[in-house]
Amino acid sequence: MRRYLMATFAAWAVGAAILRSTLLAPQHCPAITAEDARAAALLAADWIAANQYPDGSYVYEYSIDDDTDLPGYNVVRHAGVTMSLYQLAAAGEPSALRPADLGLEWMLRNLFHHDGWAALRDPADGSVRLGASALMLAGLLQRRLATGDPRYDGLARELARGMLELQLPDGAFLNRWDPAVNAPVPGERSRYATGEAFWALTLMHRIFPGEGWDEPARRVARYLAEDRDRVEGLKYPPWADQWAAYGFGEMAAWGITNSEVAYLERLAGRFGLLVRAESARRDSRRSELTRGRQARAAGAGTWGEGLAGLRQAALADPRLEHLLPAVDERLACIAGILADRQVSAAEADAAPNPERARGAWFTGGVTRMDDQQHALSALLIASQMIESRSQP
C-alpha cells in the first residue's frame, strides 16, 4: 500500500510539474501605457515608411543576419500594410498619409476592371483575389475617415461591387476571379478573405449609409457566426478571425442576432486563450520545448486586432458588455508583449542596417512587412483603449 501511495504521489507531482511548465505556466504581461503603445505603433509605421521602395511597394522580408532583402511579394499583404497606415492617419497621425498614398498609387496601377466593377490584381501572376480587393477597399475607407477626401468614393463602390461578384447565396465568398474566363473560380474559399470582405462591407455601410451595403454584410455575418467553421472544415473553432471581429465591431451598432452574440463570446474566449498561452512563452530553448515557439508579430498582432473588434462590439451591445474587463486585460497584455519584443532605436544601432531593424519584430532573424502591419494596428487600438480607461 505504501509503495502504491508513493507511486501515486510521484505521478501527481510529475503531472503538476508538467502542467506548471505548460498549461499553467505563469503569464508575463509587461506593463504598458497609452503613450508607450502609441510610440511603438509609430515606430512600426516608421519602419514601413523607411522600407518602402520608390514605386510604392514595401520590403517584403528582411534577414537581419545576412542584411539581405529576401525575394517574393504578396499583394494581399501590400493592401493590408497600406490599410494599417491609413488606420494610423485616421487616428490623428497625418505623417502616415505620405507612405500610405504611395502604397495606394502602386495599387491604382494594378487594378482590374470588368463590367462596371474593379478589383486589385497581382502584377506578378495576374490573379484577382478577394482579400487583396477587400483590404484595398478597407484602406480607401480608412483614408476617407482620415481626410474626408471623397476622390476615391467612386473607386470604393467599384471595389465593393467587385467583391459582391464573388458572394454566394449563403453569404460566403469565393476566393478568386479568373480573368481568363471572366468568372469566379468555383469551390475555392479563403479562411481570411471572407472576414476581410465582411469588414470592408461594414465600413461601406458606415460611410455610405442608405446605399444597401448592410444587406450583403448581414448575409456574410450570419455565415461567419453559424456556418463557416463547419462548412470550411476549420480546426479548433471558432477560427481566430480578427477581420470578422472588426466587422462585428462595426455591425454591433446596427444590431446583431443572438447567434452572432454567441459567436463573439466564443471568439473572445479563443483570442483570450491565445494571448494567455503567448504570455507564458519566453525566448529560450526550454520555453520553446515546453510551451511552444513565440508567435511572430504578424500572428500576435491579429489577436490584438481581434480583441479590439470585440471591444467595439461590446461597447455597442449590452449583451456583450460582460466581456469588456477580460477583453481589455488581454488587449493590454498582448500590446505589452508586442512593445517589449519590438527592436528599439537603441537596439537597432547595433544591427548591420539600423533602418531595416528599428521598429521591427524578428522571428528566426527574419521580419516580414505584415509583422509591422498587424502589430501597428494592435498597438494603436490598444493605446486608444488604455487612454479611454484612464479618463475620469
DSSP of 163-216: HHTTB-TTS-B-SEEETTTTEE-TT---TTHHHHHHHHHHHHHHHSTTSSTHHH
Is the pLDDT at 225 greater than 50, yes or no?
yes
Average of per-residue pLDDT values in the chain = 93
| Domain coordinates in residue numbering, the chain | 28-385
Average pLDDT over residues 42-69: 97
Strands across the sheet containing 183-184: 128-129, 176-178, 183-184
Q: At residue 72, does pLDDT exceed 60?
A: yes
The secondary element (H helix, E strand) that includes residue 62 is strand 61-63
Per-residue pLDDT tens for 261-285? Answer: 999 999 999 999 999 999 999 877 7
CATH of 28-385, one of 1.10.3720.10, 1.50.10.20, 1.20.1060.10, 3.40.50.720: 1.50.10.20
Across the range 120-128, mean pLDDT stands at 97
The partner residues of 184 in beta bridges, in order of sequence, read 177
Percentage of residues of the chain with pLDDT beyond 70:
93
How many other CB atoms are there within 10 angstroms of residue 148's CB atom? 7
DSSP 148: -
What digits encode the pLDDT tens for the residues 336-368?
999 999 999 999 999 999 999 999 999 999 999
CB 338, CB 379: distance < 8 Å? yes
Q: 310 in helix, strand or coil?
A: helix
Residue 290: the pLDDT is 78
* Model confidence at 18: pLDDT above 70: no
- Phi, psi torsion values for 174, nearest 5 degrees: -80, 160
Kind and range of the H or E element at 111?
strand 111-114
Distance CA 358, CA 305 (A): 22
Residues above pLDDT 90, as percent of the chain: 88
Contact call for residues 301 and 376 (beta carbons, < 8 A): yes
